[in-house]
Structure 1
Amino acid sequence: MFKILTIFIYSLKLILRLPPTLRLLTILTLIGYSVYLNIILTKFIFKRYSLILKRRNVDNRSRLLQKLGISEKFSREYLIIGFFHPYCNAGGGGERVLWTAVSFHQRTHPNSICAIYTGDLEVSKVAIIHKVKQRFGISLNPNSLLFLPLTTRSWVEASRWPRFTLLGQSLGSMVLGYEALSRLIPDIYLDTMGYAFTFPVFRLLSNTPIGAYVHYPTISNDMLQRVSRRDSAHNNSSIITNSQILSQVKLLYYLLFAELYSLCLRQADYLMVNSTWTKNHIDRLLKPWLHRDEIDLEMDHQLESCPSPQLTQLDGLRLRVPSAPSNLSSKHLATQSTRESKHKKSSVVYPPCDVQSFLNFPLQPRSPIILSISQFRPEKDQETQIKAFAQFLSQIKPNYSAADKIKLILAGSCRDQFDEDRVRGLQQLCKDLEIDDSVMFKVNVDWHELRQLLKESLVGLSTMVDEHFGISIVEFMASGLIPLVHKSGGPLLDIVVEHHEGITGFHAEGVKEYKDRLIEIFDRLGKDDEILLIRQRARNLSERKFQVENFEQGWLVGFENLQKRIEK
């Protein structure tokens, strides 16, 4: 050790005696060699540790398959599909995607084993299977289903990261991903919950093909624009927006995080997304940084058929796919198209929606009920619904004899104390606006009562900005309600869209527009057949576009793509 230190000091003295130019060149050369050697050393360490994990995985795989009654002799005949879903027992739309995919593989790939990486440690396998059947009507075969416990799930919970939550949860998911990998290296890895930071872990430590079903981007262009414009939102507090310095610091943090997220996304072999809006954002992030402002010439058919003039606006709040300028030459277009083909792109696979169970609801008669179904979270913006309803009632009463019978019902679930406090705040708002007799809250309503509400109601209301999809809106349409949704995200681009027969619902933005659309809907009731035709078209569209079979077909394309990448 002493000799090494002596040599280092002697070398340093020699460098310092060199002429300035030669000294700088020598230092830069040494730094370059140091970085190069560190990269080689890091690769060597990852490769060695990858081999250790693979050796351990032989025993892990054999032991887990034996739990299912599969002997080591036949273990190689089975394909293990690893689903990364730490909250698999939550019972939401993301879980419907997970269990529909698992059920699909159990039916169509008898030699496949579905391994679920989950942090639901206190729930048994039997209890989870029972809940899936009860909540979604999906039957699972326990003989080809494994649950692999993740003890480090707290690393991805928001409560653990009161500051720099996005970065903290994402880095925490890498810890969770490593634990998953150490328990079992699957033949195919599928993230169905949005933890893209697990991709580099699997890429560096295994040769497993990586796929994902993305419900929404962890960070998106609209989030960056809100911070840049200093707009207040549920994820951009007034403390930040009131300070130029804090806004710039947060913007820098978001930009750096977006680059890390982009790098992680590009590690995936195949990406499926749930809507055109999500695809636009994910495809933008899949491009290298300097290419993200290029014009995307690939326009989805949903965009081409959508009647809203706002589709061609790049207003920052809702990223659109702009039409190509007419003055671009054909040579430029061809060059542009070639550049675009070099970048990865995601595929839209609409989530499975249980439309069949709603199609037998009669369209008439219906009660004058405006129904909202959503969790009581800030981004769902129930406050706009209440304010618009108050103005609507005030304006329609003189001209509508049955105005006193019109009700607004807010149905949804509360996750925690914060959501419960939000409900109380909304109830107080109703009292302040003197409409509390006309507004009902259905908190944590059960499935049977929710179906009854869908069967009786007339209008389905949604006010969330940039909602990535909107399964409840599909349920509105299948149940025969008139959808009134925000003119952004999946509801605008994929769900409440116009086709050759006419419109399938209404779009609005802001309290005034929602109030105006409600007045238009109730004013036209009984005066013509157009409202009934809108409801029929909406139902037909939901049945044709969002049924489970369509999801399974799209999922199969992605799965077969990943299968081809398995090392033989």
Structure 2
Amino acid sequence: MASLGILTLPLATLILALIVRIILVVVYHRRRRCNSVAFFHPYTNDGGGGERVLWCAVKAVQEESPDLDCVVYTGDHDASPESLAARAIDRFGVKLIRPPKVLHLYKRKWIEEATYPRFTMIGQSLGSMYLSWEALCAFTPLYYIDTSGYAFTYPVAWMFGCKIICYTHYPTISLDMLSRVNARNSMYNNDALISKSAFFSQCKVIYYKLFSLMYGIVGSHAHLAMVNSSWTQTHIQKLWGIPDRIKRVYPPCDTSGLQILALERSVEPIKIISVAQFRPEKAHMLQLEAFAAAIKILDADLPRPKLQFVGSCRNEADEKRLQYLKDRAKELKLDNDVEFHKNVTYSELVSLLGGASVGIHSMVDEHFGISVVEYMAAGAIPIANNSAGPKMDIVLPEEGKQTGFLAQNLEEYADAIVNIIKMTAYHRLEMAAAARKRASHFSEQRFYQDFKSAVRPVMSNTTP
């Protein structure tokens, strides 16, 4: 026992020294806080709706508080102020008032999915704390804005004395995820090995419940939590327990730029567009299989449609998914009916949307669905998953008129495709017009107004 005490003494001393070191670092950087706004967005090249929110948020802050410098924490080492400002215009049509300052992060591997083959969720969350420590030690702002959903970074920013503002697209864990594991349903985030085993499923339920508790604790550190939809708001309120600090701010959708496109489209062939990153949850394979099923049941005298996949790849895993999708299209003998457009520019995207009559989206529990709104604004009739954002906020009747279709499985998606193709030109045009009017509720200008209104009380009551 005496020897055990001797062994634990150096360990206790080491832990105490580490704690003291952390305290000294935090105190030092709290005193050196800059009167600026820093955006935590490790991936500034993902090309998705989250990146659009980042640039619109930067622009909104620049307009609301022109005296504050805007800094972007990014793990993309080739990023520069000029390249990011150019990217905001080229990919999203967002013109910043001035280029943001850039702070490069070198520990981004700790938040990458590939780093954690198992316990991915908790691994990435704890890794984000380490990454935010690197960021805040390099530059400590007065206002810390997270636009990527890394809630575990909030206690770190809180220690550094930052006012914490977040824009949450999707809760890291939701009650729906927990219920699916409980019901042993296999999905991209619950593989067959787990779902087929009662024991492993119960272990995962316990893991999810513990993680939910931790997620609620870290999320409650936010001084302001903006959420992008009714669905996300419901979950965040239950998990974080700070309803008075939660504001719903619909994401910025390019409705004005797309609404100038002509509503009438060529139907030779009818084009179906799918805009989404090549990520597993976007369920591109379901879209391809549904398209193949629709072609089989179409009347021979009807024009054969064309499916256009448009999206970006974040990493090698996304590239492999894209290649698998291409291989499957060949297996289904759809080589001449399916197109793939990777990492397109904003102008190219607008051109593709302008030629599409239908827009398809199949992610289950999509927090909002910017691409669905963009389909509608561009004049393409949406077919979206019958859940979350599209169901609760977007694909709703406009002045009593149908604005699109909701589907849950392959058969329902295929039926929706066939129904639109069989519509008369007049009926299709009428639905597209109603969808376009509905999309105007989610404009970029509306985002700027709501974002500024939400952050104003937080950013006007703090001094360095």
Answer whether TM exceeds 0.5 for this pair: yes
Within 5 A, what are the aligned runs for 1:317-396?
Answer: 343-344=243-244, 346-367=246-267, 368-396=270-298
Secondary structure, in 3 states, of the residue corresponding to 1:370?
strand
2:167 maps to 1:213? yes
Secondary structure, in 3 states, of the residue corresponding to 1:187?
strand
Q: Return the match for 1:238 from 170, 178, 192.
A: 192
Q: Go from structure 1 to structure 2 and tell me whether the alpha carbon gap of 1:128 and 1:440 turns closer, same or farther (over 3 Å shift).
A: closer
> Which of 419, 424, 436 is residue 318 of structure 2 equivalent to?
419
State the match for 1:176 in structure 2. Answer: 131
**1:541 pairs with 2:428:** no
Match status 1:508 vs 2:407: yes
In 1: Cα distance, 2:234 partner to 2:461 partner:
26
The 3-state SS of whatever aligns with 2:299 is helix
Cα distance, 1:431 vs structure 2: 4.1
Q: CA deviation at 1:131?
A: 1.9
Give the deviation of 1:89 after TM superposition. Answer: 4.0
What CA distance in whole angstroms lies between the structure 2 residues aligned with 1:435 and 1:139? 39
Answering whether residue 385 of structure 2 is matched by residue 409 of structure 1, we say no
- Matching residue of 2:148: 193
The one-letter code matched in structure 2 to 1:128 is L
Q: Displacement, 1:48?
A: 5.9
User: What is the letter of the counterpart of residue 223 of structure 1?
Assistant: M
Task: Report the Cα distance in structure 1 between the residues aligned to 2:119 and 2:222, rounded to whole angstroms.
Answer: 25
Deviations 1:99-120 (A, max 9, x none): 1122222234221211222222
Distance in 1 separating the partners of 2:52 and 2:312: 17
What amino acid sits opposite 1:425 in the alignment?
Answer: Y
CA separation of 1:82/1:421 partners in 2, compared to 1, >3 Å: closer, same or farther?
A: closer
| Percent of pairs with identical residues | 39
CA contact 1:266–1:344 (8 Å) conserved in 2: no
CA deviation string 1:233-279 (max 9, x = no partner) = 11111111222222222221111111111101111111001111111
Task: Provide the C-alpha distance between the structure 2 equivalents of 1:83 and 1:519, rounded to a whole number of angstroms.
Answer: 44
- Name 1:530's counterpart in structure 2: 427
Among candidates 16, 27, 32, match of residue 51 of structure 1: 27
Counterparts of 1:380 and 1:108 in 2: how far apart (Å)?
35
Matched, 1:457 2:433: no
Provide the residue aligned with 2:459 in structure 1: 563
Q: CA deviation at 1:196?
A: 0.7
Alignment partner, residue 268 of structure 1: 222
Of residues 553-562 and 81-90 in structure 1, the stretch that sits farther from structure 2 once superposed is 81-90
2:392 pairs, out of 493, 496, 502, with: 493
Q: Distance in 1 between matches of 2:63 and 2:282?
A: 36
2:10: which partner in 1? none
Which amino acid in 2 is paired with 1:127? Answer: S
- Measure how far apart 1:47 and its partner are: 6.5
1:301 counterpart residue number: none
**Larger relative contact order (Cα-Cα within 8 Å, sequence gap ≥ 6):** 2
Give TM-score scaled by structure 1 length: 0.74
Match for residue 307 of structure 1? Answer: none
Q: Which runs of 5+ in 1 are unaligned?
A: 6-40, 62-78, 288-341
Secondary structure at the counterpart of residue 211 of structure 1: strand
Q: Secondary structure at the match of 2:141?
A: coil
Q: 1:121–1:392: structure 2 CA closer, same or farther, 3 Å change rule?
A: closer
Q: Which moved more, 1:429-438 or 1:86-95?
A: 429-438
Deviations 1:451-496 (A, max 9, x none): 2221112111111111111121111111111111111121111111
Matches of 1:49 and 1:419, distance apart in 2: 38
Residues 227 and 250 of structure 2 are in contact (CA less than 8 Å); yes or no, is this contact kept in structure 1?
yes
- Residues 434 and 263 of structure 1, relative CA distance in 2, 3 Å threshold: same
Distance, in Å, in 1 between the alignment partners of 2:102 and 2:288 is 43
Q: Distance in 2 between matches of 1:109 and 1:443?
A: 36
Q: Distance in 1 between matches of 2:73 and 2:316?
A: 28
Distance 1:505 1:461 in 2: 10
Distance, in Å, in 1 between the alignment partners of 2:339 and 2:280 is 19
Deviations 1:397-447 (A, max 9, x none): 25xx233x3222222233333333333433343344444443333334444
Contact 2:46 2:313 in 1 (8 A): no
Report the secondary structure of 1:391's partner residue. Answer: helix
Residues 49 and 205 in structure 1, CA contact (< 8 A), matched pair in contact too: no
For 1:177 and 1:249, locate their aligned partners in 2 and report how far apart those are by CA, in whole Å: 30
Distance 2:344 2:104 in 1: 30
Q: Quick one: structure 1 residues 466 and 158, their matched pair in 2 at CA, closer, same or farther if it must change by over 3 Å?
A: same
Which is worse superposed, 261-270 or 151-160? 151-160
1:550 CA displacement: 0.8
Shift of 1:90: 3.5
Asked whether the 8 Å contact 2:64–2:452 carries over to 1, the reply is no
| Cα offset, 1:158, TM superposition | 1.6
CA distance in 2, matches of 1:165, 1:522: 42
Specify the alignment match of 2:92 in structure 1.
Answer: 136
- Tell me the CA shift for residue 383 of structure 1: 2.0
Alpha-carbon distance in 1 for matches of 2:70, 2:342: 34
Aligned residue for 1:21? none
Gaps of 5+ in 2: 6-16
**Could you say what the CA RMSD is over the residues aligned between the two structures, in angstroms?**
2.7
Q: Quick one: structure 1 residues 386 and 561, their matched pair in 2 at CA, closer, same or farther if it must change by over 3 Å?
A: same
Describe the shift of the 1:391–1:153 C-alpha distance in structure 2 as closer, same or farther (beyond 3 A).
closer
Which residue of structure 2 lines up, in the alignment, with residue 326 of structure 1?
none
Q: Distance in 2 between matches of 1:347 and 1:87?
A: 25
Q: How do 1:66-81 and structure 2 match up within 5 A? A: 79-81=35-37
